[in-house]
Amino acid sequence: MTRPIPGLHHVTAISGPPQANVDFYTGTLRQRLVKKTVNFDDPGTYHLYYGDAAGSPGTILTFFPFADAGPGRAGPGMARAYAYAVPKGGFDGWMERLAEQAIDFDGPEERFGQRVITLRDPDGAPVELIETDRDSAEALDGFHSVTLWERDIAPTARLLTEVFGYSETGHETAGGVERLRLQAPGEARGAVIDLMRSDAPSIGRQGAGTIHHVAFRAETDEVQRDWQERLAVAGHPTTPVIDRQYFNAIYFREPGGVLFEIATDPPGFAVDEDAAHLGEALKLPAQYEPHRARIEQVLPPLKVPA
């Protein structure tokens, strides 16, 4: 049996205008803009990557910011929320800072014995901060978890436990919401997946403020090929390997409908930019480099808060 999935690689979401997105994630949440590039399928649109200082797997949140995107709505068959891990001793400080800046949040509430607050980004997407006992010098220590909204939790739980190697670590129901917590072995960032089933009637719609896909880690290209073979045997065939410049990717839909990706750790975000200057210059895939002047005219300028 191959090694289990160690946890999340990144999460990709959809937003509205890019400057408000940059202001919130680099300003309010103190994340680093580690890559400024374009959507592979729409080079007139940014693809923005946020993470820790090094752009480490398990810390990366990416956005397709569409200035004219209509509002989306999470529902069954979609990822509902991403949660950041608050380092040990930092939770009360986050609540105080948000309150001082008049930034609204819900909570704190308790979930599986941990305190959680939820704030909203400029497009209304829920952003959860979860108290942990992990030591870190970062303001937020990468991802804690992602919540998947499922009509039926069981088939997705089987995929995550029997194929990916996750273990069930908790189950609770409150206010008509059932949650099953699954965790990858080890101490990697983003090792937790919560499967949620809600009694509330809802029909999801992709748009600003929703999650597009959830990406899991493969440590090498060889490991990714192994996952491709294992998933095919398990009845979940994937796409061919796609070069995303900073990682290689394969995609498939899990039984409940959420788009899953498995992305390689290498080559990483320093492949085309010095680590000390990540996210400062517009980086283009090779096929778009000849059109740089036109692309730069179309893209709105971005300013990262000091």
Residue 36 lies in a domain: yes
pLDDT in tens, the chain (306 residues): 468 999 999 999 999 999 999 999 999 999 999 999 999 989 999 999 999 999 999 999 999 999 889 999 999 999 999 999 999 999 999 999 999 999 999 999 999 999 999 999 999 999 999 999 999 988 999 999 999 999 999 999 999 999 999 999 999 998 889 999 999 998 899 999 999 998 878 889 999 999 999 999 999 999 999 999 999 999 999 999 999 999 999 999 999 999 999 999 999 999 999 999 999 999 999 999 999 999 999 999 999 987
Assess contact for 79 and 146: CB atoms under 8 A: yes
In 3D space, the residue among 205, 244, 248, 239 whose CA is nearest the CA of residue 39 turns out to be 244
Which amino acid, one-letter code, is at 256?
G
Which amino acid, one-letter code, is at 169?
T
- What per-residue confidence (pLDDT) applies to 193? 98
- What per-residue confidence (pLDDT) applies to 174? 87
Q: Which residue has the tokens 């649109």?
A: 45
Structural domain for 47, as ranges: 8-298
- What per-residue confidence (pLDDT) applies to 175? 84
Residue 100 lies in a domain: yes
Question: What gap in Å lies between CA 65 and CA 154, rounded to an integer?
Answer: 33
Residue 209 lies in a domain: yes
Rg (CA), the chain: 19
Residue 185 lies in a domain: yes
Residue 305 lies in a domain: no
CA dihedral over 251, 47, 130, 72, signed as positive or negative:
negative
Cβ partners under 8 Å of residue 186, min gap 6: 6, 7
- φ, ψ (nearest 5 deg) of residue 295: -65, -45
29 by DSSP, 3-state: which?
Answer: coil
pTM of the entire structure?
Answer: 0.96
Produce one character per residue of 36-48: b if its CB has 16 or more CB atoms within 10 Å, e if not.
Answer: bbbeeeebebbbb
Beta strands in the chain, from DSSP E residues, in sequence order: 8-15, 32-39, 42-51, 60-65, 78-86, 106-111, 114-120, 126-131, 143-149, 167-174, 177-183, 192-198, 211-218, 242-243, 247-253, 259-267
- φ, ψ (nearest 5 deg) of residue 111: -135, 115
Residue 265 lies in a domain: yes
Residue 135 lies in a domain: yes
Question: Total domain count for the chain?
Answer: 1
Residue 304 lies in a domain: no
- What per-residue confidence (pLDDT) applies to 200? 79
252 by DSSP, 3-state: which?
Answer: strand
Question: What gap in Å lies between CA 92 and CA 112, rounded to an integer?
Answer: 18
Q: What is the CATH number of the domain that holds 172?
A: 3.10.180.10
For the stretch 272-280, contacts whose Cβ atoms lie closer than 8 Å and that sit 24 or more positions apart, written own/partner, are 272/245, 273/35, 275/54, 278/32, 278/33, 278/34, 278/35, 278/55, 279/32, 279/33, 279/34, 279/35, 279/36, 279/49, 279/304, 280/36
Which amino acid, one-letter code, is at 177?
V
